Chain A
């Protein structure tokens, strides 16, 4: 019955450092999404995983961003050499099957602050 969980809830880092954000989807959900919510850009899609298929990376803003999903469950979003413009809330969502009709369930987010 647990929902999507994300850790850490808050992360403060210095410019230039790497960060890793974790997402635990709802058990049994095959689809996993990362979004970014920032003041200037609103809610933006970053990356999508579906089962064992190659991820849809079309929303990643630069090659400093990468994500992986191990064993079809937990996902890690990595941001290398962080910049101040990376400061945002990073939201993870999961859905049972394909997202365009299935409901995406969102986690509480990780608030990233880059100093």
Chain B
């Protein structure tokens, strides 16, 4: 069975500061990892995904994430936060044993001016 843990249901940063959203997963087979963003009253939008290959993955809006197998982590980072980054972020995992995504509990990012 797969699971995803996102540490911190709420994260607050100042505009221009580093964004770090944490994600740890549990999977018995090589995982495929995703980060989605959800703006208020909207659906989920893919930020980036890791399937195979390079462990540092770059996504949209300046976000990136690094797959660290030894730490079972896939933390999301952005060097400099913008006000427009305020949203809820979801980490998810799938593997070739299942067809669905298993999501973490989400982290709400707040950006202070």
Number of interface residues of A (CB under 8 A): 25
Chain A residues in 8 Å Cβ range of B49:
103
Residues of A close to B94: CB separation below 8 A: 99-101
B99 interfacial contact with A, CB 8 Å: yes
Q: Which residues of A contact B32 (CB under 8 A)?
A: 100-101
Q: What DSSP secondary structure best describes chain A's contact surface?
A: strand
Given the contacts A42-B105, A43-B90, A43-B106, A109 and B99 also touching, CB distance less than 8 Å:
no
Within the complex, the shortest CB–CB distance from A47 to chain B, in Å, comes to 9
- Residues of chain B lying within 8 A (CB to CB) of residue A48: 99-100
In the assembled complex, B95 has its CB within 8 A of some CB on chain A? yes
Contact A107 B43 (CB under 8 A): yes
A56 and B90 contact, Cβ closer than 8 Å, known pairs A42-B106, A106-B43:
no
Q: How far is the CA of A100 from the CA of B95 in the complex (A)?
A: 6
Assess whether B44 is in contact with A91, with CB atoms less than 8 Å apart: yes
Chain A contacts for B45, CB-based, 8 A: 106
Residues on B with C-beta less than 8 A from A35 are 100-101
Check if A65 is an interface residue, CB within 8 A of chain B: no
CA distance A4 to B92 in the complex (A): 20
B51 within 8 A of A: yes
User: Can you list, as one digit per residue, whether each of B39-80 has a CB less than 8 Å from chain A (1) or not (0)?
Assistant: 001111110010100000000000000000000000000000
B24 at the interface (CB under 8 A from A): no
Most buried by A among B46, B51, B99, B101: B99
Q: What would be 18 A-B contacts, judged by CB atoms less than 8 Å apart? A: A33-B101, A35-B100, A42-B103, A42-B105, A43-B90, A43-B101, A43-B103, A45-B102, A48-B99, A99-B99, A100-B32, A101-B94, A103-B49, A105-B46, A106-B43, A107-B43, A108-B42, A108-B43
Instruction: List residues of A whose CB falls within 8 A of some B CB.
Output: 4, 31, 33, 35, 42-45, 48, 50, 56, 59, 91, 93, 98-101, 103-109
Given A33-B101, A44-B103, 12 further pairs, Cβ under 8 A = A43-B106, A50-B99, A59-B100, A91-B44, A100-B32, A100-B95, A100-B98, A100-B99, A101-B51, A103-B46, A104-B46, A109-B43
